[in-house]
Amino acid sequence: MKSHYDIAVIGAGPAGLAAALEAAEAGAEVALFDEQPGPGGQIYRAIENPAPAQTGILGEEYRQGRPLVEQLRGAPVDYLSGTTVWQVSAEREIGVSRNGTAQLVSAGQIILATGALERPFPVASWTLPGVSTVGGAQILLKTAGVVADGAVLAGTGPLLYLVANQYLRAGVSMAALLDTTPPGNRWRALRHLPGALARFDLLAKGQGWIRNIQRSGTPFIRGVTELSIEGDSRVAAVNFQTATGVRRRIETEHVFLHQGVVPNVNLSMAAGCDHEWDAAQICWRPQTDGWGETSLPGIAVAGDGAGIFGAQAAEHAGRIAALGALARLGRLSGENSHRRCKPHRLALARERKARPFIDALFRPGKSFRIPRQPDTLVCRCEEVSAGRIRETVAAGCAGPNQLKAFCRAGMGPCQGRFCGLTVSELIAEETGRPMAEVGYYRLRPPVKPLLLEELANLDSPAAE
Amino acid sequence: MNTADVAIIGGGLHGCSAALHLGLAGLESIVIEKDYIGRHASGVNAGGVRRLGRHFAEIPLAMASSEIWRHIEDLVDDTCGFIPCGQVLVAESEDEMRALSERAGRLREMGFDHEEVIDGEDLRMLLPAISPHCVGALLVRGDGHANPFRTVRAFKGKAETLGAGFLEGTRVLGLDRRGGHWRLQTTSGPLEAPILVNCAGAWGGEVAAMLDEPVPIAAEAPMLMITARMPAFVGPVVGTQGRALSFKQFENGTVLIGGGKRGEAAPGTNATRLDIHGLADSARAAREIFPIMGEARIVRAWAGIEGCMPDAIPVIGASGIPGAFHAFGFSAHGFQLGPLVGGIIADLITKGETVLPIEPFAIERFRRAS
């Protein structure tokens, strides 16, 4: 690892890989930092050595990651796997931690490609052992070929149906798939359908997944409401209400929840980039220009970290961000970067066409985002319930940062990843103020927990 | 128009404490806070309730405030999370130990015996996890720590029950005095009061400048770090004589590391910026004093904005202009003094005097200097 790079890319998913490759091709000195042991990000996780016999199960959209990763291995990129980035400053100083050693690295340009996180799904007892996310289930499938027999999958969004299909292909039985997509979404999504028809292939793929589930004989229950999890020391069952108002209970040892993904903005927020509330995707995203550059000069965001548009779009956004960074470094003329950017802009626009439809169709219902029951935990780290937060707000706490001081919500090691969105939405609902005004936690380095030992060794000669 | 007996600028601990004590004296005040109560240094400081190691001029005040802290619940109907676990100032060498003993001796000559000298053996009894190289310490029993934000809230809550009003999210745009009354222009409209109190912390210099009493105040950003939960290994609050470190473990097991390493403060925008190298210094110091800290995980670091005076002691007392009073610039150690200084201000307003020696804190000292 050097102490300075022309361009530092953080995150080795499709956006980060494409950005690093594009930048290296132009002759820039490029570092690609990634927390995982191998390249690919979440979507192409473990693509170089997936669990045996899994590639067939994981399907075509997984195999699409191969070429990017193969190119990386041949490219002059300083690819630093197993590296945690715990801080990015406005001056483009990056705090990294690798093999138990922390170090500060500077960069002429930074491209954040930190991807997405699964949206919190705070239903009753969602913190019990045995409850995980659908994304988590897929990680096990990709890396270890581990599956859970007789699991209940619940929620909404493309990943839910994709993973259910991967389970079916693997021959794993599911106790049920509980679909929480609000039935009214279909009508609200309709006006976005004409635009989305440009990506008929995507829509057809999704329809195919749903058809497979219906044909599989797996209980597939739609219009689910009042979802809650039951159990003492671990999951015993899920309870819910069907579209016709019938209360039902299904026994299971594993529950996988999912209601879409949101940009992982912890690094861009901690760096101090300006963010805005995206009402269509119900999430915060950094404000970026046509090159992905944020309000902080020289710091760009590419891929799902800037708004959810999927892996293909992320690849193009990564290349655009790299071309912009190269132009700002003076390594490409403005004219040249515009010319080379053009095909990617066109492709990106095409990739984005289906998104408003998908966003509207799978918009998670309010009662699944903002817990109705007072004892449902919102902040898992500090065990703060929805009821406690509502009381605190009623007692005069006006925002998420005050809430930290009032009742410790958001003060734990996850730095709000599991609760931040829920907390802001709860406060907005209680106070009747818009999300943009309520805001989000002020995030601070280290964005990921850092061993004191590593911090202490930071400036010592041994770290050089 | 809003009117009150007293207009207090600044909703930190000192502003809330002044409002509370004025309420006890039967005066109605309005506290004007540009952000929210306890947003800055008052709400995010390390919560040290400390007489130990203070500037000699502050000792009489710290002693008096300590008495209030002992019975804080009587004053504000809340414990403020105050835990009198003691405070220890550790010497890492014989030279440092000599300096600490001399300090304790000088205090005794002044008539104060709260700082006890303890040797290495007693230190290890008190702090079994401390590094073997530490040779001794000063100890103040009865000092400890409290929850800063909870403390500010408690003072605000009690002040409200005594009739104080709070204007949060309100900025003072200008002020002038006419016919024995202050007239303040604020972002929530005009406000009139015969008495004005400046408790604006790091922004206290701006208010003083409006009163034509400029002071050389600097906004600083002391940094703090907190760890994930650890097994209990330290009871009292620990500081070191030779370097900037303060160290405490809370009941939930998390350890707070502070002690004065500074980031950058931008009081105009409320922004603070952390200095990673300074945090690394603090981490080294923590590990050297408590080797077990090598295993700690830092989960968060932050900084508050403090107003620091060149002589590191606050401005407390009457303004040169009739009807105005100051309590600001506490230079990163105002938390312990908060419960008392509000009372001093109330006494100055209602009785025209205080029994405590506040001459060293007069704003005039900067006029003399310039």
pLDDT single digits (tens) A136-190: 998 888 877 777 889 999 999 999 999 999 999 888 999 999 999 999 999 999 9
Q: Which of A93, A444, A458 sits opposite B300 (nearest CB)?
A: A444
pLDDT above 90 (res A461)? no
* Contacts of residue A343, Cβ cutoff 8 Å, sequence gap at least 6: none
pLDDT at site A52: 61
- What does the pLDDT read at residue B125? 96
Residue A280 has pLDDT above 50, yes or no: yes
pLDDT, one tens digit per residue, over B204-247 is 999 999 999 999 999 999 999 999 999 999 999 999 998 888 99
Report CB contact under 8 Å: B295, A459.
no
| Residue A463: pLDDT band with limits 50, 70, 90 | very low
Residues on chain A touching B295 (C-beta within 8 angstroms): 451-453
CB contact under 8 Å between A451 and B295, yes or no, is yes
Place A53 in a pLDDT band, splitting at 50, 70 and 90. low
Query: Torsion angle of alpha carbons A40, A44, A46, A47, nearest 10°?
Result: -100
Look at residue A54 in the predicted model and tell me its pLDDT.
65
- With 50 as the cut, is the pLDDT of residue A464 above it? no
Q: Per-residue pLDDT averaged across A9-18, rounded? A: 97
Residue A212 class from Cβ within 10 Å (0-12 exposed, 13-18 middle, 19+ buried)? middle
- Closest residue by Cα to residue B305 from B6, B8, B3, B12: B12
Helix (H), strand (E), coil (C) string for chain B: CEECCEEEECCCHHHHHHHHHHHHCCCCEEEECCCCCCCCHHHHCCCEECCCCCCHHHHHHHHHHHHHHHCHHHHHCCCCCCECCCEEEEECCHHHHHHHHHHHHHHHHHCCCCCEEEEHHHHHHHCCCCCCCCCEEEEECCCEECCHHHHHHHHHHHHHHCCCEEECCCCEEEEEEECCEEEEEECCEEEEECEEEECCHHHHHHHHHHCCCCCCCEEEEEEEEEECCCCCCCCCEEEECCCCCEEEECCCCCEEEECCCEEEEECCCCEEECCHHHHHHHHHHHHHHCHHHHHCEEEEEEECCEEECCCCCCEEEECCCCCEEEEECCCCCCCCCHHHHHHHHHHHHHCCCCCCCCHHHCCHHHHHHC
B277 and A459 within 8 Å at the Cβ level: the answer is: yes
Lowest mean pLDDT among A306-320, A357-371, B233-247, B316-330: B233-247
Closest CA–CA distance from residue A115 to any residue of chain B (Å): 22
Put simply, whether A87 touches B (Cβ < 8 Å) is yes
- Given a cut of 50, is residue A248 above it in pLDDT? yes
Percent of chain B with pLDDT over 70: 99
Mean pLDDT score of chain B:
95
Q: Quick check: B71 pLDDT over 60?
A: yes
pLDDT of residue B173: 96
CB contact under 8 A, A455 and B227: no
**Residue A462 confidence (pLDDT):** 44
Residue A460 pLDDT more than 60? no
The rounded mean pLDDT for chain A is 92
pLDDT of the residue at A59: 74
pTM across the whole model: 0.91
Indicate yes or no: CB of A415 within 8 angstroms of CB of B44.
no
Q: Percentage of chain A with pLDDT > 90?
A: 79
pLDDT for res A445: 87
Mean pLDDT of A297-317: 97
Mutation choice for B interface testing from A452, A453, A457, A460 by most B CBs within 10 A? A452
